[in-house]
Amino acid sequence: MNSLEICQLGNPILRQIAEPITEISQPEIQQLIDQMLELTFLSKGMGLAAPQIGRSLQILIIASHPNVRYPHAPQMSPTALINPQIISHSQTEVKGWEGCLSVPGLRGMIPRFEMVEVSYSDRQGRSILQSFTDFVARIFQHEYDHLQGKVFLDRLESNLDLYTEAEFLKRLS
């Protein structure tokens, strides 16, 4: 069982800019990636960033899969991105629902770029250039924000776009 806990809104680490990883191959970094992958699975999350577990490091996981809240989410293998950077993005933004393990009980309608092109290192240290679109682009941007000291609430255009989880789920049916 994973002993890591999710940091909640108000924890100062969620507002810090995360530090880059210099030695990806270090056993501590590889173990942290394994723990983050496990916690993402156990929490049924779509993603996780290292600051959410109290580590101010530039590691994030994206793990799209259909579920009750996002029935049309594409299925993808959980992926660790180390030191990610946005290289370019679409001009088009799309609003969509988001929640966060660090902000339990709330859902917000958040504008995000429809496409992002990102560079990152994988857990073997290889440089990757990849484009993400639609829902996976949303997950990436959400988790990337955590590395910049932001949470999805910072992107709300209006408080009218904020719902409780219970009210959000009512509207899905």
Q: Catalytic site residues?
A: 143
Mean pLDDT, the chain, rounded, equals 93
Report, at the CATH architecture level, how domain 12-172 is classified: Alpha-Beta Complex (3.90)
Q: How far apart are CA 81 and CA 117, in angstroms?
A: 13
**Residue ranges per structural domain of the chain:** 12-172
54: Cα separation from own chain's centroid: 15
pLDDT above 90: percentage of residues in the chain: 82
**What does the pLDDT read at residue 43?**
87
Checking DSSP bridges between strand 115-121 and strand 103-113, what pairing results, if any? unpaired
Q: What is the pLDDT of residues 89-124, one digit of tens each?
A: 999 999 999 999 999 999 999 999 999 999 999 999
User: Of 160 and 73, which is predicted with more confidence?
Assistant: 160
Checking DSSP bridges between strand 47-49 and strand 103-113, what pairing results, if any? unpaired
Q: Hunting for tokens 């992958």 — which residue is that?
A: 37
SS3 annotation, 72-104: CCCCCCCEEEEEEEEEEECCCEEEEEEEECCEE
Q: How far apart are CA 102 and CA 10, in angstroms?
A: 9
pLDDT band for 1, please (50, 70, 90 cuts): very low
pLDDT at 68 over 80: no
pLDDT at 67 over 60: yes
